[in-house]
Structure 1
Amino acid sequence: MLIFWKARLVLLAVPKTGTSAYEAALAPHAAIVVSDPPELKHAPVYRYNRFFRPMLEKMGAPDMDVAAVIREPVSWLGSWWRYRQRPFLDGRPTSTKDVGFDAFVEAWCQGDRPAFANVGDQSKFVEPRPNGTRVTHLFRYEEPDALDAFLAERLGVEIAVGRANVSPRAAVELSSETEAKVRRKKAAEFDLWSGIESGRRLAKP
């Protein structure tokens, strides 16, 4: 998570959406860089609302904009699956070394997910809170130019983002049956991504 005090902007770090690269590029311009522990670095809206928003409000910034990046759901799951194939997870319950992508997605669709498929939901990450705390600017991972242009204008800096925390290469293919299942059972994830008009300020509910 990056907090830009003067720009009145918070950039949430949705996992597997390239935010580590933005952290590396923009940390010098941020007032607060939350890089550890992972539970705070990748704080979803509800955790931002609980821990960070009250602090910012007390310091005189009650109207911070909140930005987040959402990735196409199958691609997002593919990145998680590849990431969890890394050797440092060998033998751990979270490893996907011996799990095919179809099996990983099938497990993610379950209500009670096994450890290797327990990676959360993007829709839950950005779910608005009852008090009105919400993401005000959503971007698609697949449209980085829109995010770069927004940040450059908002922060008044040139944006040069590299790559960081990249998952190992592996073929990511779903059977037609599993793809139909994930689209049916997790329709909210696909609706969220397909409904994004990158950078457009979201209307208040």
Structure 2
Amino acid sequence: MLLSFERRFLFVANTKTASTSIETVLRPHATIVRAETPRRKHVGLSVALEEYRGDFARAGVSPGGVLKFGVMRDPIDWITSWYRYRRGNAVESPLPADMDFAAFWTRADWNIKSPKGVPYLQRRLFCEGETTLADVIIPYPRLSETFARICKGLGIAVGDLPQENRSRLRETEGLSPELREEMRDFYAADYALWDRLDEINAPALARLEEGDYAPR
């Protein structure tokens, strides 16, 4: 998570959505950086807004005066990316080299469910209950163009977005139609958010174009 009072943004770092690459661009402008551990880096908006309430007050900035944004991935694309990353990269919690995706899904470990058995959803970063706290949730396929628009509106120079921390494996095999249907049901709450992203994003993107988030 990165928060800037001067450049007026709060970036929420979702997993497997180029957050490390985005942080490379935004970190020099951040007032507050949470990046020491994955648990601190990937904090949700509701937690960040509560934890830094005093910092907002001292800076004389309201949460409504900063662009609160992050990136979301199609849920099936997101979890298959996690699978490829853990099976192909040097990580702390690697998967067996011979584990296929169906076995990974059946195992349902921390990428899929919490220790209490609750689905691990992307929406937890951007929402509180049924309320969407983010102003813009960038759809991952439109990351480069939308992030460039955001940076322009925030007065931040950005070239090509660097590609960091990518999965070495490029393909996920063995997703049957039945498994895809099961996954869509499991991620129904995330798909409900995913399908509304254009509607959610439109007001804040218009404000960006009008200069409402430009540095003052």
TM band (smaller chain): 0.7 to 0.9
Q: Which residue of 2 aligns with 1:169?
A: 169
The runs of at least 4 aligned residues of structure 1 exceeding 3 Å deviation read 86-89, 115-119
> What's the CA shift for 1:172?
1.3
Q: Which residue of 2 aligns with 1:136?
A: 135
Count of aligned positions: 193
**Structure 2 counterparts to residues 75-154 of structure 1, below 5 A:** 75-86=77-88, 88-89=90-91, 94-97=93-96, 98-107=98-107, 113-115=108-110, 117-118=112-113, 120-128=120-128, 134-144=133-143, 145-154=145-154
| Partner SS for 2:197 | coil
- Can you list the C-alpha shifts for 1:71-110, whole angstroms capped at 9, x where unaligned? 1111111111111114645xx7x43224321232344xxx
Separation of aligned partners in 1, 2:44 and 2:150: 21
Separation of aligned partners in 1, 2:147 and 2:21: 13
Verify the 8 A CA contact 2:12 2:70 in the aligned structure 1: yes
> What's the CA shift for 1:50?
3.1
Q: Report the CA distance shift for 1:87/1:72 in structure 2 as closer, same or farther (over 3 A).
A: closer
Separation of aligned partners in 2, 1:175 and 1:133: 32
Identity between Structure 1 and Structure 2 (%): 23
Separation of aligned partners in 2, 1:116 and 1:96: 12
Q: Which AA in structure 2 matches 1:201? A: P
Q: Which residue of 1 aligns with 2:50?
A: 50
Q: Kindly report the root-mean-square deviation, in angstroms, between the aligned alpha carbons of the 2 structures.
A: 2.6
> What's the CA shift for 1:165?
0.7
> What's the CA shift for 1:116?
6.0
**Stretch deviating more after TM superposition (3-12 or 51-60):** 51-60
Q: Which residue of 1 aligns with 2:23?
A: 23
| Partner SS for 1:10 | strand
Q: Which AA in structure 1 matches 2:141? A: E
Q: Which AA in structure 1 matches 2:133? A: R
Q: TM-score, normalised by structure 1?
A: 0.81
**Stretch deviating more after TM superposition (25-34 or 188-197):** 25-34
Verify the 8 A CA contact 1:146 1:199 in the aligned structure 2: no
Verify the 8 A CA contact 2:5 2:59 in the aligned structure 1: no
Q: TM-score, normalised by structure 2?
A: 0.77
> What's the CA shift for 1:150?
1.7
Verify the 8 A CA contact 1:123 1:192 in the aligned structure 2: yes
Task: Say which structure is richer in helix.
Answer: 2
Q: Which runs of 5+ in 1 are unaligned?
A: 108-112
Verify the 8 A CA contact 1:106 1:182 in the aligned structure 2: no
Separation of aligned partners in 2, 1:117 and 1:186: 10
Separation of aligned partners in 2, 1:20 and 1:74: 21
| Partner SS for 1:163 | coil
Separation of aligned partners in 1, 2:73 and 2:111: 20
Separation of aligned partners in 2, 1:199 and 1:48: 20
